[in-house]
Amino acid sequence: MSDNQLANKSQAWSALFSEPMSDLVKRYTASVGFDQRLWRADITGSLAHAEMLAAQGILSTEDHAAIQRGLNEIAAEIEAGQFEWKLDLEDVHLNIEARLTERVGIAGKRLHTGRSRNDQVATDVRLWLRGEIDEISSLLRALQSVLVEKAAEHADVILPGFTHLQVAQPVSFGHHLLAYVEMFARDAERLADARKRVNRLPLGAAALAGTSYPLDRERVARTLGMDGVCQNSLDAVSDRDFAIEFSSAAALVMIHISRLSEELILWMSQNFGFIALPDAFCTGSSIMPQKKNPDVPELARGKTGRVVGHLVGLVTLMKGQPLAYNKDNQEDKEPLFDTVDTLKDTLRIFADMLAGLTVKPEAMRAAALKGHATATDLADYLVKKGLPFRDAHEVVAHAVKTASQQGVDLAALTLAQLQAFDARVEADVFEVLSLEGSLNARNVLGATAPAQVRAQVERHRARLA
C-alpha cells in the first residue's frame, strides 16, 4: 500500500475513527522512531541469514547476490543520511526490507524466508548490545587506568578514612582511589560475563516454533561471531533476560559512579576542601558570584537514578509475559539505548575529569589530625605491650575523653599524660600515634600502607596493560 492509499484508507473510516486518532495509534505502535538505531545490526544479521539461505540452496546465487548488493547500498544510504524512514512501515526491519525490494525487486521479497521479525529483532538487539558492551568495557578500563595513575601519584597522601562519615582511621588517598578501581574491575567482569549470554543467536527460531526450511543456524552463528545458538525457539524469541542482566551490570557501574560522585562533591565543599575539580567540569551560579559547583558529579549521581529506573522498567516489562513473543518487548529498546548512552557519556566524562583532579594534601592532613584518628593504633600499641585488647580499648577511650576535654588530638597529649592512663606507654608511642606510623603499620595485603598501595598499583597496571 502506498502512503497515499494508506492516507485515503484512514479517511474512509467512520467519523469515530478520525484521522488524528489513527495517527496516534500508528505512532503508538511504531518503533522506527527509535529502533532505526539498530540498522547496522539488522543489515549484518540479514546478510548472514541470506548467505546461509544460499549455502543451503534455499536462495539462488543470483538472488543472494542481489540481496547482498541491495543491503550494502542501503547501508551506504543510511550512513549518508539519505535513507527515508517511514512511520507507516512501523519498524527498522520493515523499513529496510521494503527499501531492499524497491532496489533489487523480487529477490528482496525472498530475504525473509525462514525468518520472522521476532527472531530478527532479538538477534539485532543482541548484536548491537554486544558491540556496546565491548565499547563500555574499554571505557571502564580507561577510567580504571586514570584512577590507578592518580593512586600511584598520591600513595603517600593521607586523609581521614571514615565510617559512619565520622573520622575513623587515617588512610592513603591512593588506597581510597583504588577502592573504586576494585569496584570498576568487578563491573567489567560482570559485563564480560553477561556478554557470554548476550552473544547467542535467536535467528532460526522464526516466529516462535522454528521453521520448516532446512536452515543451518550454527553457520549463521559462526558468521556473526556468536558463541552459540539459542536452543529453544520459544525462549529465543521471547526472553530479554540478557538485556536485564546488562542493565543490572550497568546500574551497578552507575551506583559506583554515584558513590564516587558523592565523595567528590563532599571533598570539594569548603568544609572539606580536599580536592579541586577542573573548571571545565564545574559551573557557576547566576546569583552567587563566588560559587563553583561540582555539576558533573552531581549530574552523574542524578543520572544513576535514571539507569536504575531503566533496570526496574525492563524487569517489570518481562514479568508475567507468557510465551512466546509479545509486543511488550518492543519497549525494551528505549531504556536499553538510554542506559548505554548515559553510561558511555558518564564513563568518558569521569575519565577526563579525574585526570584533571587536584589534591590538597595539607587540608587532608589537617582533617586526619582531628578526630583522634590514631586511637586504634594506641590500643594496638598497648596490646603489643601485654594488655588485653578490651582493656586497651577502655584505656584509650579515657585518653580520648581527656584529649577532647582539652580540645587537642590524642597525639598531642604529653608522654606524662599518656603514661597516667597506662604505665606501659613509652616515648616510642609518638611514632605510633603519627599518621605515617598508623599507615605504615597496616602493611598487610589489601591494607592502606603506602607500600601495599604501590604493590596494588603495580598489579592493576599489569592487569590493565
> Residue 164 CB, nearest distance to ligand ARG (Å)?
48
Segment contacting ligand ARG by CB under 6 A, of 197-205, 278-286, 321-329, 405-413: 321-329
Q: ∠ at Cα 191 (186, 192), nearest 5°?
A: 95
φ, ψ of residue 65 to 5 degrees: the values are: -60, -40
Between 91 and 422, CB nearer to ligand ARG: 91
Q: Does 91 bind ligand ARG (CB under 6 A)?
A: yes
Annotation says 93 is catalytic: no
What is the 8-class DSSP label of residue 212?
S
- Identify the active-site residue in 164, 176, 256, 258: 164
Q: Distance between CA 98 and CA 106 in Å, rounded? A: 11
Residue 95 binding ligand ARG, by CB under 6 A: no
- Regarding 121 and contact with ligand ARG (CB under 6 A), the answer is yes
Which range in 11-19, 117-125, 142-150, 340-348 contacts ligand ARG by CB under 6 A? 117-125
374 near ligand ARG, judged by CB under 6 A: no
329 part of the interface to ligand ARG, by CB under 6 A: yes
Torsions phi, psi for 25 (to 5 deg) = -65, -40
- The C-alpha atoms of residue 375 and residue 395 are separated, in whole angstroms, by 10
Given 285, 286, 310, 372, the catalytic residue:
285
Pick the piece of the chain touching ligand ARG (CB under 6 A) from 50-58, 324-332, 375-383, 447-455. 324-332
Decide: helix, strand or coil at residue 336: helix
Query: CA of 280: how far to CAs of 20, 42, 277, 357, 359, in Å?
Result: 46, 39, 8, 11, 17
- For position 382 contacting ligand ARG by CB under 6 A, the verdict is no
Q: Are 180 and 347 in contact (CB under 8 A)?
A: no
Angle of the 241-268 helix axis to the 333-355 helix axis, nearest 10: 30
Q: Tell the smallest beta-carbon distance from residue 94 to ligand ARG (Å).
A: 8
Coil, strand or helix at 167: strand
CA angle 299, 301, 306 (to 5 degrees): 85
Report residue 86: phi and psi, to 5°: -115, 125
Query: Which region, judged by CB under 6 A, interacts with ligand ARG, from 47-55, 194-202, 323-331, 334-342?
Result: 323-331
Please give the Cα distance from 100 to 452 (Å, whole number): 61
118 near ligand ARG, rule: CB under 6 A: yes
Q: Which of 330, 339, 342, 438 binds ligand ARG (CB under 6 A)?
A: 330
Distance of CA 180 to the CA centre of its chain: 13
Closer CB to ligand ARG, 92 or 347, in the complex: 92
129 belongs to the binding site for ligand ARG (CB under 6 A) = no
377 binds ligand ARG (CB under 6 A): no
User: Of 117 and 301, which has the nearer Cβ to ligand ARG?
Assistant: 117
* CA atoms 324, 326, 331, 333: torsion sign: positive
393 included as an active-site residue = no
- Give least dist CB 29 to ligand ARG, A: 9
> Site map for ligand ARG, 22-61, x if CB under 6 A?
---------x---x--------------------------
Phi-psi region of 205 (alpha: psi -120 to 50; beta: other; left: phi over 0): alpha
Q: 158-163 and 166-172 as β-strands: parallel, antiparallel, unpaired?
A: antiparallel
Number of residues that bind ligand ARG (CB under 6 A): 10
Nearer residue to ligand ARG within complex by CB, 180 or 242: 242
Interatomic CA distance for residues 131 and 246, integer angstroms = 12
Q: Kindly indicate which of the ranges 134-142, 251-259, 327-335, 440-448 contains the residues binding ligand ARG, using the contact rule CB under 6 A.
A: 327-335
Q: Which of 49, 117, 301, 303 binds ligand ARG (CB under 6 A)?
A: 117
Q: C-alpha angle with apex 314: 262 to 232, nearest 5 degrees?
A: 135
Closest approach, Cβ 456 to ligand ARG, in A, equals 45
Decide: is 265 part of the binding site for ligand ARG (CB under 6 A): no
CB 180 within 8 A of CB 147: yes
Active site residues: 164, 285
Residues that bind ligand ARG (CB under 6 A): 31, 35, 91, 117-118, 121, 325, 327, 329-330
